[in-house]
Amino acid sequence: RTEPVTIGGVTLNNHLLLAAGVLGTTGASLSRVLACGAGGVVTKSIGPQPKDGHAGPCIALLDDGILNAMGLPNPSREFTGELSGLGSKPVIVSIFGGDPEEFAEVAGWFKGMAAGLELNLSCPHAEGYGASIGVNPDLVEKCTRAVSTLGMPTWVKLTPNVTDITAIGKAAERGGASAIVAVNTVKAMRISTALRRPVLGNRYGGLSGEAIFPVAVRCVYELYEACSLPIIGCGGISSADNVIEMMMAGACAVEIGSAVQKHDITVFETIKNDLYAKKGIDPAEIIGCAHG
């Protein structure tokens, strides 16, 4: 067993969290992932209005990753009902909105219902939502402030689809974020050579999984040098070695998504055992150690 760890105002059972978007749509699935060894869980993103998402195909499994354009499907405020049985478990609700007011409105629904919030400023194919907000430091600062002033732990998830991610991280810090999550998916596409058309119904989507791990490591490394907030690493983590590398870049915890979707929720127990028992890693001793 491992000791609890507090990161960005949220107390987790260990350093491994379920990333947003995978198994995060019901209270039952969130509970199950916690029971299977996750130190905390992040929900599928919830927005100001219910949304069905994009027309299919919405997801393509690649050799080294997953390409998706789900289209932010979510039940909006009704999702609060899924959280009622979860008590004080380490559940972080991912939220999105089109402007600071919408972010504040959605955040307010979850006051007292979640251990913290993760602001999704970073969906690569969300017209009017993350894609346009997450690349604009001024909007990132305003959306973050609109939520952080409500008093809940406020994590901000950044997009890698920018020239300078440190400018966005600093904007989140000015807005009162309690932690940075880096990163969401990389804007990408595939074309079916048989059909001569894009594979996804939405044409473009977000790439996750092993293919983007080096991008995520680079983003965490740059943010660690530029910001003083705790950083949660996310993007293609599928082994204890990946967790160690992310921590050396500067992450004090990690989120795992594609590896859960591609394999199954036993990845949490497997990585936990490898990390703490087999390798005997003390995260406090390695976080940021790659910085000279």
Contact criterion met (CB below 8 Å) for 42 and 18: yes
Indicate the helix (H) or strand (E) that contains 180: strand 179-182
Question: Min. distance of Cβ 184 from ligand RRO in angstroms?
Answer: 5
- Alpha carbons within 13 angstroms on the beta-carbon side of residue 214 total 2
Among 13, 148, 184, 238, binds ligand RRO (CB under 6 A): 184
Closer by beta carbon to ligand RRO, 121 or else 146: 121
Is 227 one of the annotated active-site residues of the chain? no
Among 8, 71, 97, 235, binds ligand RRO (CB under 6 A): 71
By CB under 6 A, tell whether 260 contacts ligand RRO: no
- Spot the catalytic one: 36, 58, 123, 219: 123
Closer by beta carbon to ligand RRO, 69 or else 140: 69
How far apart, in whole angstroms, are the C-alpha atoms of residue 165 and residue 172? 11
Nearest CA to 203 among 195, 214, 212?
Answer: 195
Q: Which amino acid belongs to residue 184?
A: N
Question: Where in 91-130 is the site for ligand RRO (CB under 6 A)?
Answer: 120, 122-123, 130
Closer by beta carbon to ligand RRO, 123 or else 265: 123
Q: How many residues bind ligand RRO (CB under 6 A)?
A: 14
Question: Where in 40-69 is the site for ligand RRO (CB under 6 A)?
Answer: 45, 68-69
By CB under 6 A, tell whether 137 contacts ligand RRO: no
Q: What is the DSSP string of 189-235?
A: --EETTTTEESSTTS-EEEESGGGHHHHHHHHHHHHHH--S-EEEES
Q: Among all residues, which ones are annotated catalytic?
A: 123
